[in-house]
A and B are shown apart, each in its own frame.
Chain A
Amino acid sequence: MKRAILSCNGLDKPEGSVARELAIRAAEAISGEIICPVLLNRAPARYKKALGENSLIVVDGCSTRCASKLAAGLEARVDRKVLISDVVKASGHKLPSTLTLGPDGLTMAQTIVDELVRNLNAPAAASESTSIFEAPTEFLTVMHDKFEFRIPVVDYLFNENDVWVRAADGVARVGISDYMQQKLTDISFFDFPKGDSTVEQFGELGSLESTKAVFEIISPATGTVASANSAVIANPALINEDPSGAGWLVELKLTNWPQDQEMLIDASAYAEIVKRKAAEE
């Protein structure tokens, strides 16, 4: 697979300096093209070919994640992503205090590159889904003022954090409810969880960002992340268009489903929660 690197340009923060250094070194290591975020933002057509031919390694400096957000608007295939502030925190190293990287900063960048390159052969963060799930057909409807919230019935369970789940053959598909989708309005970014990572019920399964808010996805089940919806990663607006169907987010290999279900509610119970939440606003 050919890969290009889209990185934070990072001119005003040490995290950015590390991101930039990492991008240059990674591009050399894998002979990949570097995509300049500034030029991409100004003139996306310039990179049309590169984006069509490559999957992206997206490198963000800090949690503002400019590079990821640029990628989300492009229908690009994101294969890997690195968030420098997180990686540095996890490694126990200290961020450089200046924008010019000293020997320690350069070593840190190289260590992250080595790790990244080593892991490139592992399964991608967002693999394709099993697609054993049919589109929902039956809905309950909750009306509030001029709003209408549709809640899928058959096979769907919910947690009170506005996340749905449906399971078949030991695999669960997870997404957010129509109510939450409307509350967030235009969703512009899906920060998806790493492939193969494990999650507990009520643990975090990544987050969504809209023009209005950031929403932490609270997992309705326990398991291993099997895939994230690549269509949604490339085009987060799909969540607004079809939250219960094509706008699903993550698939999990279930490991504790019988117990998980005790803590979930069905469509009619969730409808009551939506009524209450809508009335409280």
Chain B
Amino acid sequence: MSETTFMGVPRDKIPWFPTIDYDKCNFCMECDTFCPHKVFERREGDRKLVVANPDNCVVFCRACSKTCGPDALSFPNKPEIIALIKQIRDEEAAK
């Protein structure tokens, strides 16, 4: 899905995805059960859950964080991401 874009910008240039704080996560798997986009994957070993497909995450969605009791999921700052998208679009337009 490398051609996937969001607002005209290649998806892989937009760093929007959840980050798991492993100091807080208790591997309850609520977030993985909740998200329909296969962003998370379960693994063997210490880190039983990882963000395996960050580009599958819907840009600006934060829904899974509400299912997380220990508040272990964080997302980038929205205004910064919006500014980045604008900047990439402007650069493309100037080409």
Residues in A lying within 8 Å of B, measured CB to CB: 63, 160-161, 200-204, 207, 213-216, 218, 262-263, 276, 280
In contact, A161 and B78 (Cβ under 8 angstroms): no
Which residue on chain B has the smallest CB distance to residue A276? B4
In contact, A263 and B63 (Cβ under 8 angstroms): no
Interface residues of B in 19-64 (CB under 8 A from A): 34, 36, 58-63
Interface residue from B58, B61, B66, B82 paired with A201 (Cβ < 8 Å): B82
A53 → chain B closest CB, angstroms: 34
A63 → chain B closest CB, angstroms: 6
User: Whole-angstrom distance between the alpha carbons of A257 and B3 in the complex?
Assistant: 30
The range of chain B's interface size is 10 to 19
Chain B contacts for A160, CB-based, 8 A: 6-7, 59
Chain A contacts for B59, CB-based, 8 A: 160-161
Which residue on chain B has the smallest CB distance to residue A216? B63
Chain A contacts for B78, CB-based, 8 A: 200, 202-203
Chain A contacts for B7, CB-based, 8 A: 160, 263
Interface residue from B1, B34, B67, B82 paired with A202 (Cβ < 8 Å): B82
User: Whole-angstrom distance between the alpha carbons of A63 and B86 in the complex?
Assistant: 34
User: Whole-angstrom distance between the alpha carbons of A204 and B59 in the complex?
Assistant: 12
Chain B contacts for A280, CB-based, 8 A: 1
Which residue on chain B has the smallest CB distance to residue A280? B1
User: Whole-angstrom distance between the alpha carbons of A102 and B74 in the complex?
Assistant: 33
**Besides the contacts A161-B59, A161-B60, A262-B86, what 5 more A-B pairs have beta carbons closer than 8 Å?**
A160-B59, A161-B61, A202-B78, A207-B63, A214-B34
Interface centre among B6, B60, B78 (most CB of A within 10 A): B60
Contacts A/B (CB < 8 Å), 6 sampled: A161-B61, A200-B78, A214-B34, A216-B61, A216-B63, A262-B86
0/1 interface trace, chain B 63-91, chain A, CB 8 Å (1 if under): 10011000000000011001001100000
Which residue on chain A has the smallest CB distance to residue B1? A280
In contact, A200 and B60 (Cβ under 8 angstroms): no
In contact, B66 and A63 (Cβ under 8 angstroms): yes
B32 → chain A closest CB, angstroms: 14
Interface residue from B1, B58, B63, B82 paired with A214 (Cβ < 8 Å): B63
User: Whole-angstrom distance between the alpha carbons of A202 and B84 in the complex?
Assistant: 14
User: Whole-angstrom distance between the alpha carbons of A93 and B67 in the complex?
Assistant: 20
In contact, A200 and B34 (Cβ under 8 angstroms): no
Chain B contacts for A215, CB-based, 8 A: 63
In contact, A202 and B63 (Cβ under 8 angstroms): no
Give the top 6 A-B pairs by smallest Cβ distance, nearest first.
A216-B63, A218-B60, A202-B60, A216-B61, A214-B63, A160-B7
User: Whole-angstrom distance between the alpha carbons of A201 and B58 in the complex?
Assistant: 16
User: Whole-angstrom distance between the alpha carbons of A203 and B81 in the complex?
Assistant: 12
Chain A contacts for B85, CB-based, 8 A: 263
User: Whole-angstrom distance between the alpha carbons of A216 and B61 in the complex?
Assistant: 7
Interface residue from B1, B79, B86 paired with A200 (Cβ < 8 Å): B79
